[in-house]
Homo-oligomer: A and B are copies of this chain.
Amino acid sequence: MKKARPFPALIDVARRAGVGAGTVSRVINGGQYVSKRTMARVQEAIEELGYQPNVAARSLKGRRTKTIGLVVPSVADPFFSLAAGAIEAVARDHGSPVLLAQSENLPSREREQITSLIQRRIDGLILVPCDGGNLSLLQQAAFPLVCFDRPFPGQPFATVLGDNYGGARAATEHLIHRGYKRILCMAGDGKLFTSQQRVRGHRDAIRDAGLPYFAELEVQDYASASDALRRHLLGKDRIDAVFCIKNLITMNAYKILRELGVEVPSSVGLLGYDDFELADTLDPPITVVRQPVVGIATRAAQLLFDALEKGKHPKGTTTLKVDLVYRGSCGEMLASRRYT
């Protein structure tokens, strides 16, 4: 008796249609050199059996899994979830689903995830690198790789990201133009590439304007942010504006300023990196640097599929422009110095 297989195989279709294996294969892939009659018989058999080709077997021979990998720190982060959505959409249009993996910004986790993807022989990878330690893995893998949001430390892989330095610099200059002179820069994790670039952009703008530099580069959570802000709102280090380097930090800063009863923008100005839902609805609406997330992600995915389908291996860094979205949180009242 025949062993029950969960799915019918190509050979079952062949037998049912009374043809050879090769013929069925030809029917599935385009149908070149198959007579109409046979074609019809085979197609009928496929229908009847509900045959679904086994991609594993196919890719074993053909060396193509039609699957790409995506490694992000966390999909729960709205920035990366938007990106993941956009990437999946592009991938789907090319007939490749996405193997999703989260690194949590941990090098060891990243390594595990990449290994797992390599063992599944993905055709290409989109990676938000958190560490340069996994270089050898990727070099040997030799599939196209596109880095997203951050470059691979010290390695010229193709990269697509926003202009972190420029965005932060423009943002800070905007604050300065609006008349703020003692600006605090708040970052969540000073070790991250994006943070570093933004802090650098901010710092250069401050330096060029000859203003004092204040920074809190490790305010991950609400409590530490609150401490930091309180400290800078009294004493001699008193600041008159806050530049937040990331989404969540901006939101926290807003909450804290509000709790402390600090008037925004008249007492203290607020400017955030990354737009967020409701930024335009808060009181006052928050001025932010907006990154074209979907654009960045889509571009990265397209580069990857260009490599996969047209064989042009992507190189170099694509930096997408970011823009300042002027809202009310840094000085509507300073109308005379309006900067637009």
Which size bracket describes the interface of A in this complex? Answer: 35 or more
Scoring A residues 50 to 86 as 1 if CB is less than 8 Å from chain B, else 0, what string do you get? Answer: 1011111101100101010010001110100110111
Contact assessment for A99 and B97 in the assembled complex, using a CB-CB cutoff below 8 Å: yes
Contact assessment for B56 and A60 in the assembled complex, using a CB-CB cutoff below 8 Å: yes
Q: Which of B56, B70, B95, B112 contacts A59 (CB 8 A)?
A: B56
Scoring A residues 116 to 144 as 1 if CB is less than 8 Å from chain B, else 0, what string do you get? Answer: 11111100000000000000100011110
Cβ-closest chain B residue relative to A122: B97
Q: Copies per complex? A: 2
Contact assessment for B82 and A76 in the assembled complex, using a CB-CB cutoff below 8 Å: yes
A50 to B82, CA, bound (A): 35
Q: Is A283 among interface residues, defined by CB-CB distance under 8 A?
A: yes
Contact assessment for A75 and B85 in the assembled complex, using a CB-CB cutoff below 8 Å: yes
Q: Is A98 among interface residues, defined by CB-CB distance under 8 A?
A: yes
A88 to B204, CA, bound (A): 40
A205 to B100, CA, bound (A): 42
By a CB distance below 8 angstroms, the chain B residues around A67 are: 99, 120
By a CB distance below 8 angstroms, the chain B residues around A154 are: none
By a CB distance below 8 angstroms, the chain B residues around A234 are: none
A81 to B72, CA, bound (A): 12
Task: Report A196-218 residues with CB < 8 Å from chain B CB.
Answer: none
Q: Is A165 among interface residues, defined by CB-CB distance under 8 A?
A: no
Cβ-closest chain B residue relative to A63: B6
Q: Which of B6, B119, B254, B278 contacts A52 (CB 8 A)?
A: B119
Task: Report A247-289 residues with CB < 8 Å from chain B CB.
Answer: 251, 254-255, 258, 276-278, 280-283
Q: Is A113 among interface residues, defined by CB-CB distance under 8 A?
A: yes
Q: Is A231 among interface residues, defined by CB-CB distance under 8 A?
A: no
Q: Which of B7, B74, B89 contacts A102 (CB 8 A)?
A: B89
By a CB distance below 8 angstroms, the chain B residues around A281 are: 251, 254-255, 258, 282
Q: Is A101 among interface residues, defined by CB-CB distance under 8 A?
A: yes
Contact assessment for B60 and A54 in the assembled complex, using a CB-CB cutoff below 8 Å: yes
Q: Is A26 among interface residues, defined by CB-CB distance under 8 A?
A: no
Q: Please list the residues of chain A having a beta carbon within 8 angstroms of any beta carbon in chain B.
A: 6-7, 50, 52-57, 59-60, 63, 65, 67, 70, 74-76, 78, 81-82, 84-86, 88-89, 92, 95, 97-102, 112-113, 115-121, 136, 140-143, 251, 254-255, 258, 276-278, 280-283
Q: Report 16 cross-chain contacts, Cβ distance below 8 Å, ordered by A residue.
A: A7-B141, A52-B115, A52-B119, A54-B121, A55-B119, A56-B65, A70-B100, A75-B75, A75-B88, A81-B81, A84-B100, A92-B102, A97-B100, A255-B281, A277-B277, A278-B278
